[in-house]
Structure 1
Amino acid sequence: MRVVLLGTAASGGFPRWNCGCTPCAAARDGKLPTRTQEAAAVTGNSRDHIPAVAGLRTPAHTGAGCAADMVDRYAPWEWHDSLTAGGFVLSGGLVVTAHPVGASAPAYLPRRAADECWVTAYRVEDLATGGVLVYAPRLAGRDAKLDELLAGADCAVLDGTYVTTADAALSPSTRIRRVHTRLEDASPLFDPASAARGQAVEAGIEVLSDGAEFVL
């Protein structure tokens, strides 16, 4: 399985258009690399790339009809409900299951009833290589469900909005490869020379750039 990080910043990208914090100013001056909003793509055959975006649920929640009209112009595609019981198998031999990890509904909805399925994480398993990826760009913290989700994983791409949240998800002794994504615009992790970035590296946490690829 090949994983491509399409974006690694929080909503609004980096620098954020309406933010004047030190990291955003540095990015505008060309001192730090810019980043787009978090997203990833996975492929099991280096041909069919499947986007993994934790915010997508079903057509009823995302307005997929509009998305379909746009995507249809470029390539054939097929919709899968991420919460299908038992998951589903994608081309290239990837098995994907979605797991609820939070109940925070999008702010743009007129009625935001509590629903534990609003925030999901993906577990992607490669039937050929045995590689397992957990993609969880939004986390409220560590709990038994997250521990179960991470069991046996080779790599976890975790919420780095607040450093302590993602750090708490895994103990330093774990052998799981840890990558932070969805970095908030004021995050010190953007700067390779910052103390926070150095501490993350020492703890075995990677902060990769947009476009980074790795194989599991």
Structure 2
Amino acid sequence: MWVRVLGSAAGGGFPQWNCACPSCSAARDGSRPCVPRLQSSIAVSADRHQWFLLNCSPDIQSQIESFEALHPVPGQGPRVQAVLLTDAELDHSLGLLLMREGRGVEVHATESAHGTLTSGTGILQTLQQYCPVVWTPVIPGVEAQLGAGLSYRAFNVPTAKPKRFAETTSYGRVVGYRVTDISTDRSFVYLPGVQKLTPGVLGEFQDCSAILLDGSFWRDDEMASLDLADKTSRDMGHVPISGPGGSLEALSALKIPRKIYVHINNTNPILLDDSPERLHLDRHGVEVAVDGLEFEI
């Protein structure tokens, strides 16, 4: 199967429109080496003809146009078959509204995420006024078929992040996906949002060929250190990369061929190619995703 990173930044992209932090400033003035990034989403395919999106960011139109394999084919229609959501966050679901011109949209989401998208943000209610929406319930722990040649198993990701809406249930509010190529039995894990790498979550990485993991913040106090917010990384639902209990500590102990950080916040210094933090990841064999990164599993 093939995996394509459509967007590697967290919500707001990089640079973020309202931010003048060192990383965003460098991206604008070219003072340090870095590459702009769109908001987090990936595409996966078993045959390079049928593609499935994991999350659908507000940048979906630009992301599809930048990747020829996703371009519609005359007489065949769109290449995107369905969207799998890890949660109901706006930066992961707002792009669904931009797919309203199609003949229909198939959305895989948990009961919790579906409830938020229906009675909270109202995204699915709005989308249904323009085109048919098929909801496929995602049940954590249950293997599900995904078109020709692929299957997935979602897993619950515990979070204590404050709720914006009255989700019907906390279970399944955030999930990760383990996607498997049925012909080879090889898998990768997509987990762009995780507050804590619990033993249960780490167990989902067992024997996978690649992991695309939440790399939102380098430090737990990153936002406060830049005088941008008083919330910590963990308060915002993201385990930091560095420090005790950080994701790099856990990743370093795992024998996984490819370890890739995605969903990188605009304040994170790993976005700067020459930063000490980026070089530290290089020494540990951990990649920093960039838009357009594509690899075969």
Give the drift of 1:192. Answer: 1.0
RMSD, aligned α-carbons: 2.3
Contact 2:26/2:34 (8 A) holds in 1 = yes
Contact 1:172/1:203 (8 A) holds in 2 = no
| Cα separation, 1, equivalents of 2:272 and 2:49 | 34
- Counterpart of 2:151 (choices 79, 95, 101) is 95
| Cα separation, 2, equivalents of 1:167 and 1:179 | 11
The answer as to 2:144 corresponding to 1:66 is no
The answer as to 2:181 corresponding to 1:126 is yes
Alignment coverage as a number of residue pairs? 211
Q: Which residue of 1 aligns with 2:284?
A: 203
The answer as to 2:225 corresponding to 1:147 is no
Give the drift of 1:172. Answer: 4.1
Q: Identity of aligned pairs, percent?
A: 28
Q: Deviations over 1:9-52 (max 9, x none)?
A: 11111111111101101112245221111111111111111111
- Counterpart of 2:272 (choices 191, 196, 206) is 191
Q: Which residue of 2 aligns with 1:163?
A: 241
Q: Which residue of 2 aligns with 1:25?
A: 25
Counterpart residue identity of residue 273, structure 2: P
Query: Where do 5+ consecutive residues of structure 1 fail to align?
Result: none
Contact 2:269/2:277 (8 A) holds in 1 = yes
TM-score by length of 1: 0.87
Counterpart residue identity of residue 164, structure 2: Y
Q: Which residue of 1 aligns with 2:5?
A: 5
Q: Which has the larger radius of gyration?
A: 2
Counterpart residue identity of residue 12, structure 2: G
Q: Which residue of 1 aligns with 2:51?
A: 49
| Cα separation, 2, equivalents of 1:23 and 1:144 | 33
Q: 1:84 to 1:186 in 2, by over 3 A?
A: closer
Give the drift of 1:55. Answer: 2.0
| Cα separation, 2, equivalents of 1:69 and 1:50 | 23
Q: Which residue of 1 aligns with 2:106?
A: none
Report SS of the residue matched to 1:79. Answer: strand
| Cα separation, 1, equivalents of 2:28 and 2:214 | 24
Contact 1:155/1:177 (8 A) holds in 2 = yes
Counterpart residue identity of residue 187, structure 2: V
Q: 1:20 to 1:107 in 2, by over 3 A?
A: farther
TM-score by length of 2: 0.65
Contact 2:215/2:264 (8 A) holds in 1 = yes
Q: Deviations over 1:77-117 (max 9, x none)?
A: 853222266231111211111111122457531x3687132
Contact 2:151/2:180 (8 A) holds in 1 = yes
